[in-house]
Amino acid sequence: MTEVPLSRNERRFLASVMIAIVFFVGVDLLNDSIEGVKFSHLLLELTVALSAGGGFMVLMKDSFRKSHQLVRSREKILESEREVERWRLESQKYIEGLSAAIDSQLSRWSLSPSEKEIALLILKGLSLKEIAVLRNTAEKTVRAQSVSIYSKSGLSGRSELAAFFLEDLLVAPHK
C-alpha cells in the first residue's frame, strides 16, 4: 500500500481536532471528577485524552521533520544552482573560444550562413526534421544543405562532423 502524505492544511486540521479533543475531554474529566463519576469512566476518558495528545505529538513531530527536509532540499537545490553557475562562469571563456574555433572552421569549409547554422544545429544533436521545424523550412531543404555541408567538409555524415570538433576535447581517462 502506498503512503499518501498529508498536506500542511490536513495536518493543521487534524492537530486542531486533536487539541480540541484533549481540551473538551479534559473539561469533561474535571466535571466528572467533581461529580464523583466512577474511576473506570474517568480512566477511559483520560485514555481518550492521552491518545489524542499522542496523536497531536506525532503530527507535530512529522511536521517538524517535513519542515527540516524541506529546508535541506532547498539548501541542496541552492548549492546545485551555485555549482551550475560556477561551472558556467568557469567554462564560459572555453565555450566562447570553442564557438569561435568552430565558426572559423566552418568558414574555412566555405559554408554559407544557412549551412553554418544547420551545422551548429546538427552538432547540438537536432534531427533534420527538428532543424526544418526550427528554421521553418522543408526537411528536404535541410537534407540538401546537410549533404552540402558534408561534401564541403570532406566528412561522411553527422558522426564524423561531431567527432571532428569533439574528438580532441574528450580525453580518455589515464589508467
* Burial bucket for residue 146 (CB in 10 Å: 0-12, 13-18, 19+): buried
> How far apart, in Å, are the Cα atoms of 134 and each of 52, 87, 121, 143, 150?
62, 28, 10, 14, 21
Grid cell in block for residue 58? 506525532
- Name residues whose C-beta falls within 8 Å of residue 119's C-beta, 6 or more positions apart in sequence: 106, 111, 149, 161
Closest C-alpha to 122, from 155, 94, 96, 169: 155
**Predicted pLDDT of residue 37:** 85
Least confident of 28-32, 68-72, 102-106, 117-121: 28-32
The dihedral region occupied by 110, where left means phi > 0, alpha psi between -120 and 50, and beta the remainder, is left
Grid cell in block for residue 51? 491518545
Output the pTM of the full model: 0.51
pLDDT, greater one: 5 or 117: 117
> pLDDT tens, 107-119?
999 999 999 999 9
> pLDDT tens, 120-149?
999 999 999 999 999 999 999 999 999 999
